């Protein structure tokens, strides 16, 4: 038995990320080994979780991961933890299709209780039917308790306590409004600020939460049996590949299980397209997503590395920002075009940014990859090179326009691929040794 739970809310913006970070830091400061998880494909919240907990956060995504692989991953990382905390995504029941892939579906699959964060700043006794509905709508989950956020006064909180009691939901406490612990705005919805800034905010949030929430009661309320792991953790590399992964301020969006899967194919080294002038010896180069648009002068000025990349003869994997870097140029918000690697017949632009978001399923012959798109940039002109052997589908299994660059030595696109449970598919499409 150990405390393990999913933090959810009726809707986005209720404060579940701030409360998750505060709990992670408060528990970490008390000497507990706390393992953070993030429901869904997000990259930014896991970075914050890792900083708050001192343990690397792991994504759990019921769309991208198979029903066997997901609980295996969860169980593996829970074994050495004292407390396990999953931050949900959007509203508790919001999924790709109805509840599919939602926080509620994840809680049911893993058998962990839910703590609901309710924005109560404009609510009083109406919290009772809200909580009653969330408790009874989906009987496969357990609502372990509620935290009321943005509560105006102690008198306001007493009304909310009465509402929760009438709905049969335990109350774990409340948090008054604190403007200084709000997460800073992010570049186009994505950017992470300096680590020192976030540490100060997380510490303040942990202090605030500890003053109003009984953390010991919360842990007692969420004690749940932990099943033994169904699969052994990945061991040391048995592969022969030399794998070089771009990792710096421009390229840093990776899934932990993707890296673990790659490590089974060979030895991983990291390099920086921003600062390294020599391309490392590698059989496979991986350019993950990130913020190339924030570092265009520096990336374009590193001409030696770009030239070496044009002459590289090994395999290449690139996603979103990494794919943009492999194109002919990236146009910044002012209209200036910055030359890039030129390995792909396309240019991308940050002018007139518009959000593209959603789950994707890509069929390359008989190999299927699942993943996610989240970007504001766009192609200057949409290249027509996908071909009949490649199909792109959304979460509703509808064929949609989408460009995936594939040759015997390259796989690239706007989609962030998940291959943590499908490294064999990656080997097949890139011709990597088994």
Q: How many whole angstroms separate alpha carbon 9 and alpha carbon 88?
A: 8
By the 8 A CB rule, do 23 and 209 touch? yes
Q: What is the pLDDT of residues 197-211, one digit of tens each?
A: 788 899 999 999 999
CA nearest to 187, candidates 375, 412, 35, 26? 375
Q: Looking at 102-106, 228-232, 364-368, 374-378, which range is the least confident one?
A: 228-232
Evaluate whether the domain defined by 2-224 bears CATH number 3.40.50.1820: no
**For residue 111, what pLDDT is reported?**
96
**For residue 178, what pLDDT is reported?**
87
Per DSSP, which regions of 264-396 are E strands?
266-271, 284-287, 289-290, 315-319, 329-331, 337-339, 347-349, 356-364, 367-375, 378-379, 390-393
**For residue 89, what pLDDT is reported?**
95
Q: How many whole angstroms separate alpha carbon 68 and alpha carbon 410?
A: 29
Quick check: 190 pLDDT over 50? no
Q: How many C-beta atoms lie closer than 10 Å to residue 313's C-beta?
A: 6
Q: How many whole angstroms separate alpha carbon 215 and alpha carbon 330?
A: 48
Do 2-224 and 241-430 show the same overall fold? yes
Among residues 39, 57, 84, 320, which one is catalytic?
A: 320
Quick check: 340 pLDDT over 90? yes
Q: Mean pLDDT across the chain, nearest whole number?
A: 92
Quick check: 236 pLDDT over 70? no
Q: What share of the chain is helix, strand, coil (3-state, %, to 5)?
A: 30, 25, 40
Q: How many whole angstroms separate alpha carbon 42 and alpha carbon 189?
A: 11
For residues 283-297, average pLDDT: 97
Burial of 238 (0-12, 13-18, 19+ CB in 10 A): exposed
**For residue 193, what pLDDT is reported?**
53
Q: Domain ranges in the chain?
A: 2-224, 241-430
CA nearest to 215, candidates 185, 173, 186? 173
Quick check: 279 pLDDT over 50? yes
For residues 378-382, average pLDDT: 83
Q: How confident is the model at residue 226 (pLDDT cuts 50, 70, 90)?
A: confident
Return the sign of the alpha-carbon dihedral for residues 96, 97, 99, 105. negative
- 3-class state of residue 97 by DSSP: strand
Query: Quick one: fold of 241-430?
Result: Rossmann fold (3.40.50)
**For residue 26, what pLDDT is reported?**
98
Quick check: 187 pLDDT over 60? no
For the stretch 100-105, contacts whose Cβ atoms lie closer than 8 Å and that sit 24 or more positions apart, written own/partner, are: 100/62, 100/63, 100/395, 101/40, 101/61, 101/62, 101/63, 101/359, 101/395, 102/62, 103/6, 103/8, 103/39, 104/8, 104/138, 104/140, 104/141, 105/62
> Residue 172's Cα: distance from chain center in Å?
27
Q: Looking at 168-177, 192-201, 401-410, 411-420, which range is the least confident one?
A: 192-201
Q: How many whole angstroms separate alpha carbon 175 and alpha carbon 153?
A: 10
Q: What is the pTM of this model?
A: 0.93
Q: How many whole angstroms separate alpha carbon 200 and alpha carbon 193?
A: 12
Quick check: 388 pLDDT over 90? no
Q: Looking at 18-27, 248-257, 402-411, which range is the least confident one?
A: 402-411
> Residue 105's Cα: distance from chain center in Å?
17
For residues 413-428, average pLDDT: 96
CA nearest to 225, candidates 84, 104, 59? 84
- 3-class state of residue 10 by DSSP: coil
Q: How many whole angstroms separate alpha carbon 93 and alpha carbon 41?
A: 16
Instruction: Kindly give the pairing relationship between strand 251-253 and strand 289-290.
Output: antiparallel
Q: How confident is the model at residue 403 (pLDDT cuts 50, 70, 90)?
A: confident
Is 57 among the catalytic positions? no
**For residue 92, what pLDDT is reported?**
97
**For residue 96, what pLDDT is reported?**
85
**For residue 197, what pLDDT is reported?**
77
């Amino acid at each position: 038995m150990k405390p393990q739970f999913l933090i959810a809310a009726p809707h986005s913006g209720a404060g579940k990320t701030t409360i998750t970070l505060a709990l992670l830091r408060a528990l970490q400061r008390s000497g507990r080994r706390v393992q953070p998880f993030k429901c869904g494909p997000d990259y930014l919240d896991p970075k914050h979780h890792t900083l708050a907990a001192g343990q690397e956060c792991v994504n759990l995504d019921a769309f991208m991961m198979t029903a066997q692989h997901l609980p295996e991953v969860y169980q593996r990382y829970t074994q050495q933890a004292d407390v396990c905390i999953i931050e949900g995504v959007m509203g508790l029941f919001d999924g790709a299709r109805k509840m599919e892939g939602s926080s509620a579906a994840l809680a049911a699959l893993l058998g962990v209780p839910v703590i609901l964060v309710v924005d109560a700043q404009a609510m009083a006794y109406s919290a009772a039917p809200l909580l009653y509905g969330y408790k009874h709508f989906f009987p496969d989950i357990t609502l372990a308790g509620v935290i009321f956020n943005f509560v105006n006064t102690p008198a306001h909180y007493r009304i909310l306590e009465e509402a929760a009691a009438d709905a049969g939901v335990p109350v774990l406490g409340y948090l008054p409004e604190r403007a200084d612990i709000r997460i800073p705005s992010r570049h186009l919805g994505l950017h992470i600020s300096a680590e020192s800034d976030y540490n100060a905010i997380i510490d303040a949030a942990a202090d605030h939460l500890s003053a109003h929430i009984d953390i010991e009661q919360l842990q007692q309320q969420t004690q749940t049996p932990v099943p033994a792991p169904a699969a052994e953790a990945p061991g040391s590399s048995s592969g022969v590949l030399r794998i070089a992964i771009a990792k710096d301020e421009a390229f840093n969006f990776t899934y932990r299980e993707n890296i673990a899967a790659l490590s089974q194919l060979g030895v991983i080294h990291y390099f920086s397209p921003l600062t390294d002038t020599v391309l490392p010896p590698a059989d496979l180069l991986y350019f993950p997503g990130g913020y190339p648009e924030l570092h265009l002068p520096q990336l374009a000025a590193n001409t030696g590395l770009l030239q070496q990349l044009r002459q590289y003869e090994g395999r290449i994997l690139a996603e979103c920002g990494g794919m943009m870097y492999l194109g002919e140029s990236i146009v910044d918000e002012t209209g200036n075009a910055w030359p890039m690697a030129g390995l792909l017949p396309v240019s991308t632009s940050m002018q007139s940014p518009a959000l593209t978001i959603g789950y994707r399923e890509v069929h390359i012959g008989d190999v299927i990859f699942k993943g996610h798109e989240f970007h504001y940039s766009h192609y200057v002109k949409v290249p027509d090179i996908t071909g009949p052997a490649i199909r792109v589908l959304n979460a509703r299994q509808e064929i949609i326009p989408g460009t995936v660059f594939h040759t015997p030595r390259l796989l690239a696109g706007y989609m962030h691929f998940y291959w943590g449970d499908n490294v064999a598919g990656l080997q097949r499409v890139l011709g990597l040794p088994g």
